[in-house]
């Protein structure tokens, strides 16, 4: 049985049976049967069902937000945004079935046309940090393209995935088109990744597990999309709006208690404004409201588990230079912490800590900023703060990351591509081209005679 715990209190919410390999096999068989019907649903009807699914999610947004707050410890204001994102993503991809068209390519001797063919069964292995949003980033375009979907949620956070599967049925999505199989990653996740009848795997999680998923998928040469984390840089130049950059920087790190692949967990500040930034950032960090995630005023909640909290604490070899407040007692609490003048070879700089910890260091010029920013095996996201448009473009091209923002800390927009470089993963999610990742292109030549 899987014990589902409230991270804000450490108390048991419920227990669920975990799927074994046989249960995954059964889900795949049902998904293959459902695919025979779903793939033949007309684009217009598929679009209508997805729009209805989006509307039903919108109607249950407060319920979903409450589940995410209870199960994942997200501040309820953030959880409401996440539930809204699920509805928005579904609505966005509801417009895709009727617009994902092939081509007519001029050739000699006949006519050449292409078709986008759905793959079949798609497996989505979801992490615990943003369970319902990341689930739908994969499921919505996969369903829109005519595939059936099996979701394996994280052991810690299956509740919103299970509820979304129920809402899909309420919305008229046919049975077994969207299934959820809770279970351990080493059992249910491994079987889903290696199953010969699963045509694609979408995985979000650690590099180590991502490698195992890729190895399992390679056995049947199935496609994979991998989003494997980050250690993003927040680069602040002296010509930027320093007050704005410093005021926003804590929220670029401590959202979801730092358990965010896009967290700007390394801040690089040009030397001539370093002291000013330090003072302003310290002031901003100490105003972050940490506490009961069910309260609208809370800005940072607990970590997901006691085990994860100990992992994050393992990086703290000395006392932080700045530390915020947090509750004491039950729950997996940890204060927001900042370290200044962090060395380039310090694990706080090179590793993905995945907690409410930020490393800050000075730099002199663009070349040094680029070197420091790229001194990590990751390349997912990042920010560049400057008043110089030319510099912004130079830095954006030089910094190794899949999603960069200028004078902003925003990473994810469902209508633009999302993904990383280096060990941050393979492929892209979201945006107008996401359906291409869930289809094969079939080329057909028709001779003139």
Q: Which residues are catalytic?
A: 227
Is the distance from CB of 420 to CB of 226 less than 8 angstroms?
no
Contact 240, 206 (CB under 8 A): no
End-to-end CA distance of the chain: 65
How far CA 98 is from CA of 17, 45, 49, 92, 309, in Å, comes to: 39, 10, 13, 12, 46
- Rounded CA separation 146/44 (Å): 12
Confirm if 246 and 237 have CB atoms less than 8 A apart. Answer: no
Spell out where 205-243 has E strands. Answer: 223-227, 233-236
**How far is residue 218's CA from residue 275's CA, in Å, rounded to a whole number?**
51
Phi, psi of 113 (to 5 degrees): -130, 155
Half-sphere exposure of 187 (CA within 13 A, CB side): 14
Compute φ and ψ for 210, nearest 5 degrees.
-60, -40
String of DSSP letters for 22-88? HHHHHHHHHHHHHHHHHTTS-HHHHHHHHHHHHHHHHHTHHHHHHHHHHHH---HHHHHHHHHHHHH
Q: How far apart are CA 362 and CA 356, in angstroms?
A: 20
Residue among 409, 412, 405, 404 nearest 429 (CA): 412
Q: Strands 223-227 and 198-204, how do they pair?
A: parallel
């Amino acid at each position: 049985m899987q014990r589902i715990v409230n991270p804000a209190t450490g108390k048991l919410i419920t227990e669920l049976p975990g799927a074994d390999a046989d249960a995954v096999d059964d889900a795949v068989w049902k998904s293959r049967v459902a695919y025979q019907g779903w793939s033949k649903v007309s684009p217009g009807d598929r679009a209508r069902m997805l729009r209805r699914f989006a509307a039903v999610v919108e109607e249950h947004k407060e319920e979903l937000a409450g589940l995410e707050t209870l199960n994942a410890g997200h501040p309820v204001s953030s959880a409401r945004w996440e539930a809204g994102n699920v509805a928005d993503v579904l609505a966005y991809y509801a417009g895709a079935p009727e617009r994902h068209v092939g081509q007519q390519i001029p050739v000699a001797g006949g006519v050449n046309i292409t078709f986008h063919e759905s793959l079949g069964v798609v497996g989505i292995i979801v992490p615990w940090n943003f369970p319902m949003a990341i689930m739908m980033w994969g499921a919505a375009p996969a369903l829109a393209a005519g595939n059936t979907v099996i979701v394996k949620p994280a052991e810690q956070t299956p509740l919103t995935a299970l509820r979304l599967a129920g809402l899909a049925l309420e919305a008229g999505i046919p049975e077994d088109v969207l299934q959820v199989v809770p279970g351990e990653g080493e059992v249910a996740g491994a079987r889903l990744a290696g199953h010969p009848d699963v045509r694609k795997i979408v995985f979000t999680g650690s590099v180590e597990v991502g490698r195992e998923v890729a190895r399992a998928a390679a056995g049947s040469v199935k496609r994979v999309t991998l989003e494997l984390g980050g250690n993003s840089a927040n680069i602040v130049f002296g010509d930027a709006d320093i007050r704005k950059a410093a005021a926003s920087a804590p929220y670029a790190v401590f959202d979801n208690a730092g358990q965010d692949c896009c967290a700007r967990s390394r801040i690089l500040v040009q030397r001539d404004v370093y002291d000013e930034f330090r003072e302003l950032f310290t002031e901003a960090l100490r105003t972050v409201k940490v506490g009961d995630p069910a309260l609208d005023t809370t800005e940072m909640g607990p970590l997901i588990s006691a085990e994860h909290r100990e992992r994050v604490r393992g990086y703290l070899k000395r006392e932080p230079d700045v530390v915020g407040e947090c509750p004491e007692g039950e729950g997996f609490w940890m204060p927001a912490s900042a370290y200044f003048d962090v060395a380039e070879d310090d694990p706080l700089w090179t590793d993905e800590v995945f907690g409410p910890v930020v490393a800050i260091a000075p730099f002199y010029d663009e070349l040094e900023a680029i070197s420091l920013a790229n001194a990590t095996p990751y390349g997912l996201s990042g920010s560049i703060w400057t008043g110089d448009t030319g510099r912004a473009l130079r830095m954006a091209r030089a910094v190794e990351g899949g999603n960069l923002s200028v004078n902003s800390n925003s990473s994810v927009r469902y209508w633009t591509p999302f993904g990383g470089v280096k060990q941050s993963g393979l492929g892209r999610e979201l945006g107008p081209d996401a359906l291409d990742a869930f289809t094969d292109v079939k080329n057909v030549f028709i001779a003139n005679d």
